[in-house]
Structure 1
Amino acid sequence: MAASLASLSSSAQAGTRQLFNRHGSHRLPPSNLLLPSSIGKHMITRRRSLRKISALETSDGAVNVEVEEGEEACELVNGTELSIDGVEAYLLTAVKNNNGTGLLLLSDIFGFQDSSTRDFAYRVACNGYNVLVPDLFRGDPWSKNRPESEFEEWRRGQDPDRIRQETTALTKWMVEEFAAAGMSMKLGVMGFCFGGGRVVDVLAADKNGYFSTGVSFYGTRIDSAVAGDVKVPVLFITGDKDPLCQVDGLHEIEEKIGEGSKVVVFEGRGHGFVHRPETPEDDRDADEAFALMRNWLHHHLMNGNQ
């Protein structure tokens, strides 16, 4: 039987790659392992310039985001390709600094194999998390090569009931893996664009209280009718120039969810600026948004584990 999360901590020091094979998942050929572009299969050290970031203004006051001057270093991250109850997914796990906490990351319309999504997931794993990125579109993500006239038909084919059922199954898998490993069963969920909209769906459907928080980056088509069913704080990040994620709508959803949630709006930024930055200004604000997300996750997921 392939190794599970239970062996993660003991084998991390040896630098071995973990494979998972529990409850409907199966091991895929090692040659198919997907890691972020330019990343090899062994020890990786990634460095990124960071600036000191001051407070950001939110819907209910300033949020302090502390980032020291210097470089962000990341060492070994394990990448594993999985099939969980028929849903393909990638799992990225930190090794030396693994904090024993899981995150479900929901992609935009371009799918879980997209380089921007997997690079972001890799960076989150570098911060100690175990990040599961599922295929929300059953092998049929939107492609930039498709005619725009086909988009609405494609979108209607993404059955929200199917996605809810599959994310519920993925959540159960994560909870069982973490329980078997004796690690934290606290989970977080985050998503971009299409996936950012589904963050609210996932949290509203979480009747067992598995998730402790969520982060929605410029979520699209958020169902405000179910927002009142969300029982945990959610961080909403968007740009004021984003036509697909209106700020007023986010504030209404924030009020329905209740105490603890926040909306952070970046001036001048459009859609996708955090995981698809296109300008130096996007890069600057993407770093701020990442730091804000990181501190938010640490507060809501890690404080109770220390």
Structure 2
Amino acid sequence: MAASLASLSSSAQAGTRPLFIRHGSHRLPPSTLVPLSSSVQHSITSFSRRRSSLKKIYALETSDGAVKVELNEEEEEEEEDESCELVNGTELSIDGVEAYLLTAVKNNNGTGLLLLSDIFGFQDSSTRDFAYRVACNGYNVLVPDLFRGDPWSKTRPESEFEEWRKEQDPNRIRQDTTALTKWMVEEFAAAGISKKLGVMGFCFGGGRVVDVLAADKNGYFSTGVSFYGTRIDSAVAGEVKVPVLFITGDKDPLCQVDGLHEIEEKIGGGSKVVVFEGRGHGFVHRPETVEDDRDADEAFALMRNWLHHHLI
């Protein structure tokens, strides 16, 4: 039985082992996980880092209809602190699905986000780091195990990938995300929160964002954000009733810009495709270069503004 959201937002008990150990950069060493048990584990931690100001961001329409984002280097302001007060991290199990929930303690805006991971799973440090940064902005972020304990690993031979992918039953994932959504709605209602939810995802999870929204017949979700989603089912895109922000790079072979525009047109209703020039797959939550880092911060700012507009 999962703990209620009200109890998860309370202060952690003294002596609890932290889920996260923060450092000065937004890059993390591999996460140290608290073993899932029948008793819910809590932790509170804080985060502060230096970043460039993201106020001077420009969105420009390109000839193919995409949005190109540029930062005027000459107008960059001096670095300032981006501080995160307190975030409560909890590992739990929901209808047999392991997950972790990050809740902002001091600045909680009463809004929930379902974050769907890439193929490396919900325990991957890059996913947890990103979820932590989102929670720092006031959200309650639920990150589930989409793969039921069997995520893809970089140590596996590439020749096994297609076989592994076929084992990820779309119907089972759809049932799991539906159960997770129901849990979030019920827990928020129990905590006296009536705001709607948002859903976001990367890569594999980014593709499932459209599936989740298409299956949302009760109107629980107000918006979605898909980062370079893979294998998006365009056949169900027309069933999505809320605006979706699609973020990708023009050098990403796994998420073609033309395909995103087709899906954007099917969804309509204020959806938008944002294309970062020169960026490849995974640049937002797995930046590998200085250029990736800069564009990752810009993408995060765009996402943050999008969520604020549609959820807050």
Report the CA distance between 1:93 and its aligned residue: 0.6
Query: How many matched pairs?
Result: 302
Q: How far does the alpha carbon of each residue in 1:169-199 deviate from its partner, in whole angstroms, 9 at most, with x for none? A: 0000000000001113310000000000000
Report the CA distance between 1:71 and its aligned residue: 2.0
Partner of 2:58: 54
Distance 1:65 1:39 in 2: 45
- Paired-residue identity, %: 90
Distance 2:28 2:287 in 1: 32
TM-score by length of 1: 0.84
TM-score by length of 2: 0.82
Aligned residue for 1:71, secondary structure, equals strand
Structure 2: 5+ residue stretches without partners: 72-77
Partner of 1:113: 123
Distance 2:68 2:259 in 1: 24
Checking the alignment, whether the CA contact within 8 Å between 1:106 and 1:133 is kept in structure 2 is: yes
Q: How far does the alpha carbon of each residue in 1:224-280 deviate from its partner, in whole angstroms, 9 at most, with x for none? A: 000000000000000000000000000000000012100000000000000000000
Checking the alignment, whether the CA contact within 8 Å between 1:26 and 1:83 is kept in structure 2 is: no
Stretch of structure 1 that moved more, 57-66 or 205-214: 57-66
Distance 1:25 1:115 in 2: 13
Distance 1:149 1:21, change over 3 A: closer
Structure 1: 5+ residue stretches without partners: none
Aligned residue for 1:30, secondary structure, equals coil
Distance 2:24 2:214 in 1: 25
Partner of 1:225: 235
Distance 1:218 1:31, change over 3 A: closer
Q: How far does the alpha carbon of each residue in 1:143-164 deviate from its partner, in whole angstroms, 9 at most, with x for none? A: 0000000000000000000000
Distance 2:19 2:126 in 1: 24
Report the CA distance between 1:22 and its aligned residue: 29
Distance 2:69 2:36 in 1: 27
Q: How far does the alpha carbon of each residue in 1:18-42 deviate from its partner, in whole angstroms, 9 at most, with x for none? A: 9999999999999985599999999
Checking the alignment, whether the CA contact within 8 Å between 2:43 and 2:88 is kept in structure 1 is: no
Report the CA distance between 1:90 and its aligned residue: 0.5
Distance 1:39 1:206, change over 3 A: closer
Distance 1:239 1:215 in 2: 15
Aligned residue for 1:10, secondary structure, equals coil
Checking the alignment, whether the CA contact within 8 Å between 1:99 and 1:129 is kept in structure 2 is: yes
Report the CA distance between 1:69 and its aligned residue: 5.2
Distance 1:201 1:193, change over 3 A: same
Checking the alignment, whether the CA contact within 8 Å between 2:117 and 2:127 is kept in structure 1 is: yes
Partner of 1:283: 293
Distance 1:174 1:24 in 2: 32
Distance 1:21 1:272, change over 3 A: closer
Aligned residue for 1:182, secondary structure, equals coil
Distance 1:27 1:69, change over 3 A: closer
Stretch of structure 1 that moved more, 9-18 or 189-198: 9-18
Q: How far does the alpha carbon of each residue in 1:79-116 deviate from its partner, in whole angstroms, 9 at most, with x for none? A: 10010000000001110001010000000000000000
Checking the alignment, whether the CA contact within 8 Å between 1:215 and 1:236 is kept in structure 2 is: yes
Distance 1:69 1:27, change over 3 A: closer
Checking the alignment, whether the CA contact within 8 Å between 2:69 and 2:274 is kept in structure 1 is: no
Distance 2:190 2:253 in 1: 44
Checking the alignment, whether the CA contact within 8 Å between 2:102 and 2:131 is kept in structure 1 is: yes
Report the CA distance between 1:6 and its aligned residue: 2.7
Distance 2:303 2:310 in 1: 11
Distance 1:25 1:220, change over 3 A: same
